[in-house]
Structure 1
Amino acid sequence: MTRFLELEGCFNFRDLGGYRTSGGGTLATGLLYRSDGLHRLTARGRDGFAALGIRTVLDLRAEEETLRRPWTPPENWRGRRRVLPLRPEPPVWSATELERADPAFAAEHYLDTTRTGATALGAAFTELTAPERLPAVFHCAAGKDRTGVLAALLLAVLGVSEEVIAADYALSEQATARWVASLAAGNEDDTPPAFATLPPAMLHAKHETMLVFLRGITELHGSVTGFLTGLGVREEQLDQLRSALVR
């Protein structure tokens, strides 16, 4: 199936449905989406968004980002939007050039994101475990890093294998190519100048990066479920999420 939805203005809007779980089920389509910044949606893109019937938008960007690049919902949208910053402050990059190019560097950044964004992650799961909150979409700026962390945790707790989670994460490479092609075509872009200073490992979505991140969660917390219950997410809430999304 094609995972990318063609919503004009976004490059990385995807349906997380269709993946198989370890219990033999399949994730329902049309209920859970991941995306890059919704503020990029054009008027036509907002019409496409409205047609999806989304009830909940979780914005994982920092408060300052949401103010600088606000999202304009479709006219008459009656959904619920929450700003849940996974990184309230911009990261400070410090490492050798060799380390900064290593996929493990990005994985460690994601593990750090689970620390800086612990409260926000707990709140995100609480939101998504309420059936009336679906369909839902969560997003950051590029839809790769902060969004990738939440997507990985969600897919893992729903029973999707690590290899499939890593493959889903790596699809952001295609989104980057779409973004680059848009720039080459002369289209406008709102990427801040700081993008050019990102460590090399953070410019890609390598399969191995996600595997290292998931193994790190297991080493630190025993399992993704152990990590989430440590944040205050209850087992019955996770069961509700599975009931709503696994067919």
Structure 2
Amino acid sequence: MISEVTVHDLNTLEPLDSEWVQQRLANFPFVRIDGVTNVRSLGPYPVKPQSQEDASIRLLTRPCQLFRSAEVSGITEQGKVQMRELGITRVFDLRSDTEMEKYDTPVPQIEGVEVIRAPVFQIEDYSPEVMARRFQLYASGKTEAFMELYSQILDNGGQAFAEILKHLTRFNPKAGKDRTAVIAAILLSLAGVDDEIIADDYELTRIGREPVRTKILQRLSKEPIFAENKDAALNMLTSRRETMLAFLQMLREKYSGAEGYVQKCCGLSKADIETIRRNLVGKANS
């Protein structure tokens, strides 16, 4: 018997029921790529009409056009086949050289798939002082701490996110937790997806990362602040709806929303934004 899991359970630090997790991972929006964690399609999600003409049409983000996931370093040969079968031809890796070297997770070679390096943080952002402060924020588990962390990602990630966004202005897209969550939220917001749905999508990371819970905790145990405090490490596994809702509010207040952010920090034009939206959104059943 598979136990009932509630939203409250997703917000706890305790392990989730494994059978229930496997059942969820086998269904939308999760996608199977062997050796890669938390792979899921960013849609189809309903979008708000942007014009009078759109008001009479049911619009959705295009299914299986854009995917998000944790790092692809552990992808297996079977996973590479699955990635190609999904039509994925480009992967944007948001990690730095420092991070990959520290955890021995290099960029893999995947035939037919281009892995594009787009690090959010640079070498100087990994100084002992900076990392100590960052880990302290994660350890607290508080929404305001995550807002400081996500603000750092926004402030540092303009160039990296521009790589992804500019790609979406040129092609119909076939494309971790926090950095990925930030760009995923920006893309869904640009498409016109409601905040509540974006927050629901964000919360799914709690399920997607559950199979590698032990592995993540082992990695974190190498950091003194987490080795001495298991609950602090567990706070890094959380992806609460209220965190994403607070982030979207901060995005509006500090950057004039997703559109304001990508224009100011990523160098995109209004025309670029319209092109991205057209590539991300389609009519229902189209």
**TM-score, normalising length from structure 1?**
0.84
Task: Give the Cα separation in 2 of the matches to 1:207 and 1:3.
Answer: 17
Q: Residue in 1 aligned with 2:167?
A: 127
SS in 1 for 2:133: coil
Deviations 1:29-67 (A, max 9, x none): 121000111111111111111211212211111123345
Gaps of 5+ in 2: 1-26, 50-57
Q: Residue in 1 aligned with 2:16?
A: none
Alignment CA distance shift 1:97-1:228 (3 Å): closer
Deviations 1:137-161 (A, max 9, x none): xxxxxx2111001001110011001
Deviates more, 1:147-156 or 1:237-246: 237-246
* Residue identity (%): 27
1:59 maps to amino acid: D
1:127 maps to amino acid: H
Q: CA RMSD in A?
A: 2.6
SS in 1 for 2:59: coil
Task: Give the Cα separation in 2 of the matches to 1:209 and 1:123.
Answer: 26
Alignment CA distance shift 1:11-1:233 (3 Å): same
Task: Give the Cα separation in 1 of the matches to 2:182 and 2:43.
Answer: 17
Task: Give the Cα separation in 2 of the matches to 1:115 and 1:92.
Answer: 16
Find 1:112's aligned residue among 132, 140, 152. Answer: 152
Gaps of 5+ in 1: 137-142
Q: Residue in 1 aligned with 2:48?
A: 22
What is the CA-CA distance between 1:98 and the residue it aligns to?
11
Preserved CA contact (<8 Å) 1:105 1:201: no
1:64 matched to 2:98? The reply is yes
1:12 matched to 2:51? The reply is no
1:177 maps to amino acid: E
Structure with larger Rg:
2
Task: Give the Cα separation in 1 of the matches to 2:200 and 2:65.
Answer: 20
Q: Residue in 2 aligned with 1:33?
A: 67
After the TM superposition, which residues 41-80 of structure 1 pair with which residues of structure 2 at under 5 Å, given as runs? 41-66=75-100, 68-75=104-111, 77=112, 79-80=113-114
1:2 matched to 2:28? The reply is yes
Preserved CA contact (<8 Å) 2:96 2:120: yes
Preserved CA contact (<8 Å) 1:17 1:30: yes
1:100 matched to 2:125? The reply is no
SS in 2 for 1:26: strand
Deviations 1:156-189 (A, max 9, x none): 0110011111111110100222223xx4xxx899
Alignment CA distance shift 1:207-1:65 (3 Å): same
What is the CA-CA distance between 1:117 and the residue it aligns to?
1.5
Task: Give the Cα separation in 2 of the matches to 1:215 and 1:188.
Answer: 29
